[in-house]
Structure 1
Amino acid sequence: MGGADTIRERCSRTSPRLFTAGRASLLATLASLTVACGGAEGEDLASSPAAVEPQLATQGEALSVGDLLGVGNREAPVGLALEVDNGEGVPLKVKAGQTFWVNQIDLRASINATKDEGVDGLRQNSDFLAIGWNGVRLADQEFVGLSNPDGTFTRRRFYRDAAWMKAPSLFTVEPVDSRGLLTGAPVLLNIGTDDTRRTERDDFFIRRMRAIQWTRDCRSLTDCTGAKAYEEEALVELRNAYDHAKKQTLTFTSRTVGLRLRWSLRPFAPYYIPVTQVSQPAYSYGFGIDIKPLTAPRKDGTYAPGSDVTFQMTLKDGKGKALHKPGSLPTYNEVAPPGAPGNPAGIQYYQAFFNPTTTYYRRKHQERMMMTQLIGPAQDIQPIRTIVDLEAFLDDSQDVQTIATPARDGVYAQFMTFPPSNKLFGGAFFPNDGRWDAPVSDTWTYHLPADAKPGTYLVTAKARRVFMGEDRPASRTIEIQVGTKTHTEAVLTTGPCNTCHSKGGELSEVLHANDNRAACASCHAPLGFELEGPIFVRTHFLHSRSNRFDAPLEKCTSCHLKQETTQRTSKAACLSCHKSYPDSHVEKFGPIESMYVGGGRESFQQCTGSCHKTHPGSGF
């Protein structure tokens, strides 16, 4: 990383005198941490703080009190999303003079390889090479369900427990001018440790650090013999600032042209994120969704079973301005593919064709799917276990997919993606058909079956907006009455989630910004190419893998309200949490094939009604 003189040169542009004493102490702490994590420059770092302190102080002369305190800005602070890819900061455009808190940080380092070396290449030749890789281990693996265009398959291996993943660390975010001098007070963010969640000290609700090996030319879903196309990735994902962290704000002055992002595990090799300020953007920050039925109900306010009901969605900024013209949305090619111009209002579409996502392990917040669902009646809402195959997504005869029927699933559900899946996924499978250039409407039609059970039906839309540095989800649910004026309620079998999801981690903030858990099941059906869709699978998987879950994993009463809700035994229910089962089970049900659901399509079938009536340590 260079000699001591180079390190001191880099460090001369940090904090003003106002912060010198605290910063010097911090640098001393960071130096010892770097040594502990295996950094190559430990000896130089240990002596750096005292040597650079006079240089730190000189920068204070460039700052006014107004710069430090953000005086003069009257706009409400906005959550800022920062991203660095292979050492290069992803440029930001922001509203001039805006004040932000840091709500999201994504770091990624990657290399390509021609041999199977796990993720060892990252410790030898990557942006993360000297941050401490001791202890790294293979934790999980999963194949991608769909084949590649050439008929090969992709395997993903997930690595954890490297020293840098487990160590406590901090980020410093510094607004700077063209000379690298501070234009405002920096923000110091504590991202905590991997083994526990401290809501009073951690600054982010979500903290995920891992490495992934991708093998992209496997012969089959079980065999990667002879593979030569490997990619190794290291990822840092921080999301959803706690309420106390939102009070630490950055103000962009007229002199701010960039952000210096300093990580305590590599404190003297900061990242730089270019910033362009726009004085009068066409839209405001914030994001909301409106849904309205265009089909009028009957005189009594209800819809008849057998009816077709058309809805319209409007995406809005935080001040209520529509982000699109009534009747239409941008085409997929205008928004999503690499090199696309992007939507000036920040509208987003599904990105996983180009930026693959993996439940828990990789970038689910960047998937950006826009979709809508109908489910009901509310009193019958439950998990959907019927698998939706790819053929349904590619069916040109229908834009809306029927996900569940009362006779088969005990509830009725439909969903639709934007663009419709026959254009969205069809464009990926048939790239020469022009499907990604097809017009996209903001209206759609759901069909109520002739035998629809009376009650309240939920209609939900969810989307994500990325605009001027803000990366924000939104959801909206409305209700319609079918066959009766009597309002019915969903009976949830788990909760309350706010025991943990609080202080900035509420369900209204994380994931899809949807705090109505009754409105999850329809979108989260198992897909033939992504079996881990159901909420119970994802909840088990995420909380069992996260070392920051607050309760013993075996204590079912932490989430489940009634014992009988834990007694529907299936591979998906059990092996989304457990990573092994007895040899007798292997003999009867086969080996574990999926880290998410245990096996294949059979994983959602109830395998027994007589065993596993209790769970050790369940709390029931």
Structure 2
Amino acid sequence: MCGLLLGLPACQLLNTEDTENVPGRGSTAFDPYAASASGAIKLSLQMFNGCAILSNGQPVAKGNSPVPDYPAQCDDPMAADPTHSPKITPQQRFQVMTDTKYFLNQITLTDTVANVHTDASNLAAVSRWIRKESRFKDLDWSDMSQEGVRWYETLTEGTWSRELRFRNARWMLSQDDTFTLEVLDSDGSVRQTATYSRKDFAGESPVAGHTNVSYVIENLLPPRSPSDGELRPVPSPLPGLGGIQYRTMVRVDLVGSTNPFKDFRVLGVSGDGAIRLTWSLMPNSPFTIPVTFVRPSDVPPTCFKDDDSPTPCAFGLDPRVNLSRPKNGQFYVPGERFDVIMDVRDGEGNRLHRKELMPSFADFYGGNTNGLIYGFEGHLITQGERDTTTSYQVVGPLQDLKTWSSVAGPTPYFSAGGSASATYVAMVPEIASLPIIPGLPTATWPTRSTLTLPPDAKPGTYVILTRAVRQFMGEHVSKGNASFFQVGQAERTSYPNRVGNCQTCHRGVVSLDNLRHGFSVDHVESCKACHMSTADLLGRVQDDMHRLHMNSNKYPQNKADCRMCHLTRESAVRPSLTVCKSCHPTVHGDEYFSMAFTNSGAPSRFSNCAQSCHVEKTPSGHILPD
């Protein structure tokens, strides 16, 4: 019957194959991941408060998909308070291309409420909602404990959030559970399945922004003492704005396939269907995503060739940058102005935007950017998704790059932002950070921008780090590229070579090319170009790199051996309160509590402790480079 209806032998919408030993495949095919050139496409499945969502933050419409209990209206993932904001009717579709091999690379399942648990002293209510009322109530929450309170500064200096994380629940420690993926046809019939182990995913640590169970209180002034239990709101600039916000979240986020050879092919069908994901720890509560299957021949010509003529988009992502020619034809000189032209393409070389213009924010919200993702606060605050911004940063010279740990004095190297608060340049201005101006959301933005080198720019090699994020036909991918240019001299200079060795663990399918921003390990010393903020923002490189690896059970090396990542002794012996607390959260107890909330002045949480107490002796428990 199904062969007559669909024209498919044996009705296999999904054909699971083991192709590891097929010629042309193997781990090198995914180092780095290169979309269709790798043999299979990354598939990302995301749900927010019971609705499937796209990477532009919009909920997915049911259409004619066979999901009988799918909501007609969804919580607004873009709203700061999705619990009490008006629900919205989904309009956009989650599309998957037929006749294409995929492998499951991301599972993100989020349930959150805002301004429900407004009594910070009543953690029993928070715990009750997590264990008994959330969409994850069927998990085994036995032995759940509190990790402790962490304060971090937000994008607005002087505004803090207080986060309490929960850990050690039995489901969090499980490693033997599985996820069964099923493809449903338009009638709701299961055609074939593929099963993934939890061990098939590299990343799930909350430090990296993945699986996270937390209670966060936002928009606060810092506490005045360790015993200060008063939650003081940041003064509101206008009546009716601001105020303390309370957010409780359970977010299960597994990212980064360690087994992309466990692929499947959606065979030649089109129209509405569904993908159902059943977690072995929640067998009676599957997560079902409405899907529209699209034939390759039906992909509309919305991308652009070099002459700006329309052409169908392909998978993959390749953010490029072009520079205007130096006046002397060889290198720029201090004080010279030059143009930076963004050029973001898919894996086949098709431009995702017109040659001269980037799409508007309205296009982004409406799903009309050929998958290109722009940054907005809803991604970070409401959904907990960190990797979103399409942006670039210009820094140099390479030999002077170092961790910026002082708010006093000049920037130690040139950066396009020029300050700790401007850690990157968004290709399209982020609407949330701008005043409300009529027409701003619908404005298109030029791909060309102009930068001016400072009059005292040091000679050497400079770099433009370009990063883009895209979701297209089920593929969610982030990719970073580096482009170099010369200032003041034709001779090349290089990175300081103070840290590295990432490829010891990050190689093959879990290489840095395939994780987070998609930058090669060759550019690990450029991370500080964007993650350089002197505030305690999430993602500060000294803090997060230590916390991530020191708390990871997947990091096999001796965690006291600094030589694994630090190549020089000098790079490992500058202690500060912020750096030391990343591994030792209770260092010195409360003795320097007030310092933790001080950006400037002396001392501050970035002060060099080696210049005072630790000048004579380095930490005895650390193994340092010679």
The question of a shared fold, defined as TM-score above 0.5 by the shorter chain, is answered with yes
Q: Do the aligned partners of 1:571 and 1:597 also contact (CA within 8 Å) in 2?
A: no
Q: Do the aligned partners of 2:370 and 2:472 also contact (CA within 8 Å) in 1?
A: yes
Aligned equivalents of 2:164 and 2:561: distance in 1? 29
Task: Select which of 191, 203, 220 maps to 1:206.
Answer: 203
Q: Do the aligned partners of 1:554 and 1:615 also contact (CA within 8 Å) in 2?
A: no
Cα 1:353–1:162 shift into 2, 3 Å: same
Q: Which residue of 2 aligns with 1:342?
A: 367
Matches within 5 A, 1:464-543: 464-515=469-520, 516-526=523-533, 528=535, 530-543=536-549
Cα 1:84–1:463 shift into 2, 3 Å: same
Matches within 5 A, 1:201-350: 202-208=199-205, 209-216=211-218, 223=229, 225=231, 230-242=246-258, 244-254=259-269, 257-279=273-295, 280-281=298-299, 282-299=312-329, 301-335=330-364, 340-350=365-375
Aligned equivalents of 2:480 and 2:13: distance in 1? 38
Aligned equivalents of 1:524 and 1:274: distance in 2? 37
Letter in 1 for 2:321: I
Deviation at 1:124, TM superposition (A): 1.3
1:107 aligns with 2:109: yes
Aligned equivalents of 2:476 and 2:605: distance in 1? 35
Q: Which residue of 1 aligns with 2:554?
A: 548
Deviation at 1:581, TM superposition (A): 1.5
Aligned equivalents of 2:459 and 2:570: distance in 1? 26
Deviation at 1:164, TM superposition (A): 1.1
Aligned equivalents of 1:152 and 1:531: distance in 2? 10
Deviation at 1:156, TM superposition (A): 2.2
Alpha-carbon RMSD across the aligned residues, in angstroms, is 3.5
SS of residue matched to 2:108? strand
Aligned equivalents of 1:105 and 1:385: distance in 2? 36
Task: Select which of 128, 133, 139 maps to 1:120.
Answer: 128
Aligned equivalents of 1:465 and 1:283: distance in 2? 12
Letter in 1 for 2:395: I
The structure carrying a bigger helix percent of its residues is 1
Greater Cα shift, 485-494 or 106-115: 106-115
Matches within 5 A, 1:599-614: 602-609=604-611, 610-614=615-619
Cα 1:456–1:607 shift into 2, 3 Å: same
Could you tell me which runs of 5 or more consecutive residues in structure 1 were left unpaired when the two chains were aligned.
Answer: 1-60, 192-201, 393-398, 405-412
Aligned equivalents of 2:476 and 2:482: distance in 1? 21
Aligned equivalents of 2:600 and 2:183: distance in 1? 47
Deviation at 1:203, TM superposition (A): 0.9
Deviation at 1:81, TM superposition (A): 0.3
Matches within 5 A, 1:414-493: 415-420=424-429, 424-427=431-434, 430-432=435-437, 434-493=439-498
SS of residue matched to 1:458? strand
Deviation at 1:517, TM superposition (A): 1.7
Aligned equivalents of 1:284 and 1:240: distance in 2? 21
Q: Which residue of 1 aligns with 2:48?
A: 85
Deviation at 1:449, TM superposition (A): 2.0
- Normalising to structure 2: TM-score of the pair? 0.73
Could you tell me which runs of 5 or more consecutive residues in structure 2 were left unpaired when the two chains were aligned.
Answer: 1-7, 19-35, 54-59, 61-93, 206-210, 234-243, 300-311
Letter in 2 for 1:127: R
Cα 1:462–1:303 shift into 2, 3 Å: same
Deviation at 1:253, TM superposition (A): 4.3
Q: Which residue of 2 aligns with 1:363?
A: 385
Q: Which residue of 2 aligns with 1:196?
A: none
Q: Which residue of 2 aligns with 1:162?
A: 169
Aligned equivalents of 1:568 and 1:496: distance in 2? 20
1:563 aligns with 2:569: yes
Aligned equivalents of 1:579 and 1:458: distance in 2? 35
Q: Which residue of 1 aligns with 2:15?
A: 68
SS of residue matched to 1:313? strand
Aligned equivalents of 2:437 and 2:293: distance in 1? 38
SS of residue matched to 2:554? coil
SS of residue matched to 2:498? coil
Q: Do the aligned partners of 1:175 and 1:250 also contact (CA within 8 Å) in 2?
A: no
Q: Which residue of 2 aligns with 1:581?
A: 587
Runs of 4+ in 1 over 6 A off after TM superposition: 596-601
Letter in 2 for 1:80: L
Question: How many equivalent pairs are there?
Answer: 510
Cα 1:471–1:140 shift into 2, 3 Å: farther
Q: Which residue of 2 aligns with 1:199?
A: none
Aligned equivalents of 2:179 and 2:265: distance in 1? 14
Cα 1:525–1:147 shift into 2, 3 Å: closer
Aligned equivalents of 1:80 and 1:302: distance in 2? 43
Letter in 1 for 2:188: G
Q: Which has the higher contact order (CA 8 A, sep 6+)?
A: 2
Q: Which residue of 1 aligns with 2:139?
A: 131
Deviation at 1:188, TM superposition (A): 1.2
Q: Do the aligned partners of 1:94 and 1:275 also contact (CA within 8 Å) in 2?
A: yes
Deviation at 1:432, TM superposition (A): 4.7
Cα 1:417–1:217 shift into 2, 3 Å: closer
Q: Do the aligned partners of 2:337 and 2:452 also contact (CA within 8 Å) in 1?
A: yes
Aligned equivalents of 1:128 and 1:267: distance in 2? 11
SS of residue matched to 1:245? coil
SS of residue matched to 2:283? strand
In percent, how many aligned pairs have the same letter? 24
Q: Do the aligned partners of 1:386 and 1:403 also contact (CA within 8 Å) in 2?
A: no
SS of residue matched to 1:80? strand
Letter in 2 for 1:138: Q
Letter in 2 for 1:113: H
Q: Which residue of 2 aligns with 1:189?
A: 196
Deviation at 1:146, TM superposition (A): 4.5
Letter in 1 for 2:174: A
Deviation at 1:502, TM superposition (A): 2.0
Deviation at 1:272, TM superposition (A): 1.0
Aligned equivalents of 1:572 and 1:373: distance in 2? 25
Letter in 2 for 1:506: S
Aligned equivalents of 1:425 and 1:82: distance in 2? 26
Letter in 1 for 2:494: E
Deviation at 1:354, TM superposition (A): 5.1
- Normalising to structure 1: TM-score of the pair? 0.74
Aligned equivalents of 2:505 and 2:142: distance in 1? 31
SS of residue matched to 1:537? helix
Q: Do the aligned partners of 1:284 and 1:318 also contact (CA within 8 Å) in 2?
A: yes
Q: Encode CA deviations 1:347-394: one digit per residue, 9 max, x unaligned.
A: 111133454189xxx4323xx1122111111222212224599xx9xx
Deviation at 1:102, TM superposition (A): 0.6
SS of residue matched to 2:111? strand
Deviation at 1:273, TM superposition (A): 1.0
